[in-house]
Amino acid sequence: MSQSFTQLPEELQLATSAHVKYIQSLDTRKDEYDYWLTEHLRLNGLYWGLTALHLLGHPDALPRAETIYFVLSCQHESGGFGAAPGHDAHMLSTVSAVQILATVDALDELETRGKGKAQVGQYIANLQNRETGTFAGDEWGEEDTRFLYGAFNALSLLGLLDLIDVDKAVNHIAACANFDGGYGVNPGAESHSGQIFTCVAALTIAGRQDLIDKERLGRWLSERQIAGGGLNGRPEKKEDVCYSWWVLSSLEMIGKTHWIDKDQLIAFILRCQDTEKGGISDRPGDMVDVWHTVFGVAGLSLLRYPGLQPVDEVYCMPKSTTARLLGR
Amino acid sequence: MADQGGSQHGIARTSRVRTEEQKRRDLERIAKYRELEDQVRAHIARGEYAPEVFQLTSKLLRLNPEYYTIWNVRRRCLISGSFSRPLAGSSCLKASSSTSPSATTTTSSTSCSSSSSAATRPAPGSPTAGTSGTTADPAAISTTPDAPGKEDSAATAAAAETQDLSIIKSELTFTIPLLLESPKCYWIWSYRLWILQQAIARLRPAVARRIWEEELGLASKMLGKDRRNFHAWGYRRHVVQQLESATLEGSSMVEAEFAYTDKMINTDLSNFSAWHSRSKLIPRLLDERGADDAARRAFLDKELAQIRNALNVGPEDQSLWYYHQFLILNLVAPEQHPAMTLNFTREDRVAYLTREIDEIKELLEDYDDVKLIYEGLFEYTLYLCQLEERQPDEIERADLVAWLGKLKQLDPMRNGRWADLEKEYGLKE
């Protein structure tokens, strides 16, 4: 995709302004039942929307001060964040909180108005299973490589990775590897693109890519692309825009993005847009949501679609943010 | 982050403009939902986890099973009132019973149960966490009559178990319709596992075991509805692990689980989840059978014959090829996959691999346009050279070049990969 924006045929145009408006509208839908049913995802949703806006080149489309205020209003004494005020603290919302504050360059607000960076780090570190190295999502103990990645992501952004036993966590990831080169939710589980992203990204953050069987994994990942250009999450499953991100970013991390047909994937993601009202869906013609919108846009960014800000394939955040914080 | 709850999958895009009637209905539902939510929150704010709150969580979770905080409120209700006694650290029980709190040295904290604010709850790393905390809270014990006679205490224990068993059964029943409606909702599965963990902590092993045994039926039912549901596969693995454990006075179930993969594969050859499970079970299966070299070889023969028959019917099915690759790895990477070929000589390995390559070549007679066949031939031929520590000979080289040509022609999407292979093995014409 080397053409400039305006030269692209209509079906290859990204409906940027519609997507921006769609994301801006998300917090105004209080008269819709779904708005209330999805409150347990509010902080994640803010991260998804904010990241999409930054990648679309509209970083100021959400008000910064209110964004910071909302994030801090979700924090508990423990340092962890809930999905919204009144929701229990959880790893998933805590990671989103850190990512949002990092993106709007407001991590310092944790010190001045929040419970402090160290307390956030401690909340996350306390969720590590010191015996196996993996992480729980919260005090109730569900364990999953998603939470392990979340811990690595947030703690590295905070510069607090030394609070946890990284080696043990890395050993746990190694135990999740399968003969096909992929990784599952926990040892014994089937390879799954989402979990592959979390494991490969965590190993990348830990500087332990040497543990990855790149040839075998790259081959498995590249086989996810099916007729029509979309990617699926496991063998013999349907394609889905969110896997454009999990699979593609994993391929990027192991240097094998060229093993799939990028132009066909771009066309597939663009076919999933609602060009009129904005937003991206899992497959063409389905209902849009902010989750598929961010992963669609992030996928396009990784595919060097013209006019988008570069995305960091390990963090799913603007590259400018991870460059500023981590020198990546 | 990778949480798919609440996102739209497979729902057709409709006009987002609602009629006045729809808007009115939405507002009514919102009002009802928020009223329920407000009631729960008011109780929480006062630190109340009474039966009334428990009933409210039932209503709210039926409307929204993704609401994880409400599942937590429900747990706290059970711990702080309904169960016969609080357990030290029971709010922090791990889904996995393999964890031990003794290894941790992190901050200490107060009791996990029924504190009024979630914000001050300790994490599982705290010394109160973990599954060893199965002794009764002293405060709870002090509520029983002073110095009870032996018979009294036995009767009390029996009554307590009856009470706990009834709660556990009722909770398991509560989650079934929710799981059937939202089979991919992480929070329901995780709550159910927590309840099952309570069975281990609160009931005698034989009683707890009967509860856990029924979970295999649920896993099968869920997999009957969606053969690839990885939540249900993971749940099944966890249940089996627990049923095998000493905690539940169990023993190995590897034969039964292996038979289950047979059943699933016979229903649907394309079920990679079942093939995957098979690949994980085989090493243990052979060890526990005390299989000698001959038995292991016979086992491999049977597996290869089965997958070859399947490939004859469906050579375009990735699931079958992945399993075939797993078997081939037993031949060419014995250090990682020794189960079936532990004492194979190099000659054995070469003979087996050569036969597989020949069999796959025969597939070409019926299917000359299936790219996975060419990919298999290409990969396995290189393995053969690797085993024999040599470069491809003239004929093999010509084959590799031809197969790569076919791959480029049949599968241009992955041209970047074919180009890399061409370069790596010096196959440029």
Closest CA to A278 of A262, A297, A265, A306: A297
pLDDT greater than 60 at residue B90 = no
Nearest-CA distance B113 → chain A (Å): 12
Set of chain B residues whose Cβ sits within 8 Å of the Cβ of A195: 2
The answer to whether the CB atoms of A288 and B237 lie below 8 A apart is no
H helix and E strand count, chain B: 16, 0
pLDDT greater than 70 at residue B129 = no
Size (chain B), residues: 429
What kind and span of H or E run contains A200? helix A193-205
The strand pairing partners of A281, in sequence order, are A288
Set of chain B residues whose Cβ sits within 8 Å of the Cβ of A288: 8, 13
The answer to whether the CB atoms of B41 and A128 lie below 8 A apart is no
Q: Which of A87, A261, A286 sits opposite B12 (nearest CB)?
A: A286
The strand pairing partners of A231, in sequence order, are A225
pLDDT greater than 60 at residue B401 = yes
Distance between CA atoms of B22 and B31, rounded to whole angstroms? 14
Set of chain A residues whose Cβ sits within 8 Å of the Cβ of B276: 178, 190-191
Q: What is the pTM of this model?
A: 0.90
- Residue A177: what are its φ and ψ, rounded to 5°? -75, 145
Segment A263-289, tens digit of pLDDT: 999 999 999 999 999 999 999 999 999
Distance between CA atoms of B351 and A130, rounded to whole angstroms? 47
- Residue A188: what are its φ and ψ, rounded to 5°? 100, -20
Query: What's the burial of A309, exposed, middle or buried (CB within 10 Å: 0-12/13-18/19+)?
Result: middle
Reported as a pLDDT band with limits 50, 70 and 90, residue B8 is: confident
Set of chain A residues whose Cβ sits within 8 Å of the Cβ of B109: none
Q: What three-state secondary structure class fits A225?
A: strand
- Residue B59: what are its φ and ψ, rounded to 5°? -65, -45
Query: What is chain A's Cα-based Rg?
Result: 19
ipTM over 0.85: yes
Distance between CA atoms of A178 and B317, rounded to whole angstroms? 19
Query: What's the burial of B194, exposed, middle or buried (CB within 10 Å: 0-12/13-18/19+)?
Result: buried
**Structure confidence at residue B258 (pLDDT):** 98
**Structure confidence at residue A93 (pLDDT):** 98
pLDDT greater than 70 at residue B98 = no
Query: What's the burial of A90, exposed, middle or buried (CB within 10 Å: 0-12/13-18/19+)?
Result: buried
CB A223 within 8 A of CB B413: no
Distance between CA atoms of A55 and B12, rounded to whole angstroms? 27
Nearest-CA distance A115 → chain B (Å): 12
Q: How big is the CA angle at B250 (ends B248 and B254), to the nearest 5 degrees?
A: 135
Nearest-CA distance A38 → chain B (Å): 6
Reported as a pLDDT band with limits 50, 70 and 90, residue B88 is: low
The residue among B135 and B229 whose pLDDT is bigger is: B229
Closest CA to B123 of B86, B95, B89: B89
Q: For A282-303, give one letter per residue: b (16+ CB within 10 A) or e.
A: bbbebbbbbbbbbbbbbbbbbb
The answer to whether the CB atoms of B91 and A139 lie below 8 A apart is yes
Q: What three-state secondary structure class fits B148?
A: coil
First to last CA, chain A: 24
Distance between CA atoms of B357 and B157, rounded to whole angstroms? 65
Q: Which of A39, A140, A256 sits opposite B75 (nearest CB)?
A: A140
Nearest-CA distance A5 → chain B (Å): 24
**Structure confidence at residue A327 (pLDDT):** 94
Closest CA to B94 of A197, A186, A40, A92: A186
**Structure confidence at residue B2 (pLDDT):** 40
Q: For A152-189, give one letter per residue: b (16+ CB within 10 A) or e.
A: bbbbbbbebbebbebeebbebbbebbbbbbbbbbbbbb
Nearest-CA distance A297 → chain B (Å): 15
% of chain B with per-residue pLDDT over 90: 75
pLDDT greater than 60 at residue B146 = no
pLDDT greater than 90 at residue B109 = no
Which segments of chain A have a pLDDT < 70?
1-6
**Structure confidence at residue A24 (pLDDT):** 97
Q: Where are the alpha helices (DSSP H) in B314-370?
A: 318-332, 346-366
CB B281 within 8 A of CB B311: no
- Dihedral sign for Cα atoms in the order B159, B162, B168, B174: negative
According to DSSP, the β-strands at A288-289 and A311-312 are unpaired
The answer to whether the CB atoms of B11 and A197 lie below 8 A apart is no
The answer to whether the CB atoms of B1 and A146 lie below 8 A apart is yes
Domain at B291-429: CATH code: 1.25.40.120
Set of chain B residues whose Cβ sits within 8 Å of the Cβ of A286: 8-13
pLDDT greater than 80 at residue B122 = no
Best mutation site among A42, A87, A142, A276 for testing chain B: the one with the most B CBs within 10 Å?
A: A142
Query: In the numeric block, which tokens belong to residue B91?
Result: 């709010």
pLDDT greater than 80 at residue B171 = yes
Q: Is A86 on the interface with B (CB under 8 A)?
A: yes
Angle between helices B371-387 and B318-332 (to 10 degrees): 0
- Residue B241: what are its φ and ψ, rounded to 5°? -55, -45
**Minimum mean pLDDT among B43-47, B186-190, B370-374: which range?**
B43-47
Q: Which of residues 1-60 of A touch B (CB under 8 A)?
A: 31-33, 36-41, 44, 47
Distance between CA atoms of B335 and A162, rounded to whole angstroms? 34
Query: In the numeric block, which tokens belong to residue B381?
Result: 């031929």
Best mutation site among B1, B192, B424 for testing chain A: the one with the most A CBs within 10 Å?
A: B1
Set of chain A residues whose Cβ sits within 8 Å of the Cβ of B4: 242, 291
The residue in chain A having the minimum alpha-carbon distance to the alpha carbon of residue B337 is A179
**Structure confidence at residue B92 (pLDDT):** 43
Set of chain B residues whose Cβ sits within 8 Å of the Cβ of A157: none
Nearest-CA distance B419 → chain A (Å): 9
Place of tokens 């132009």: A263
Residue B320 CB partners (closer than 8 Å, separation 6+): B269, B270, B275, B307, B310, B311, B314
Nearest-CA distance B249 → chain A (Å): 23
- DSSP 8-state assignment for residue A316: T
Q: What three-state secondary structure class fits A128?
A: strand
**Minimum mean pLDDT among B97-106, B184-193, B287-296: which range?**
B97-106
Nearest-CA distance B151 → chain A (Å): 36
Nearest-CA distance A150 → chain B (Å): 7
The residue among B121 and B208 whose pLDDT is bigger is: B208
**Structure confidence at residue B7 (pLDDT):** 66
Q: What three-state secondary structure class fits A239?
A: strand
**Structure confidence at residue B99 (pLDDT):** 33
Reported as a pLDDT band with limits 50, 70 and 90, residue B10 is: confident
The residue in chain B having the minimum alpha-carbon distance to the alpha carbon of residue A225 is B413
**Structure confidence at residue A169 (pLDDT):** 98
Q: Is A285 on the interface with B (CB under 8 A)?
A: yes
Q: What three-state secondary structure class fits B382?
A: helix
Segment B354-397, tens digit of pLDDT: 999 999 999 999 999 999 999 999 999 999 999 999 999 999 99
Q: Is A132 on the interface with B (CB under 8 A)?
A: yes
Q: Is A236 on the interface with B (CB under 8 A)?
A: yes
Q: Is A309 on the interface with B (CB under 8 A)?
A: no
Distance between CA atoms of A43 and A74, rounded to whole angstroms? 8
Q: Is A127 on the interface with B (CB under 8 A)?
A: yes
Calculate mean pLDDT across residues B269-273.
95
Q: Which of B13, B107, B317 sits opposite A274 (nearest CB)?
A: B13
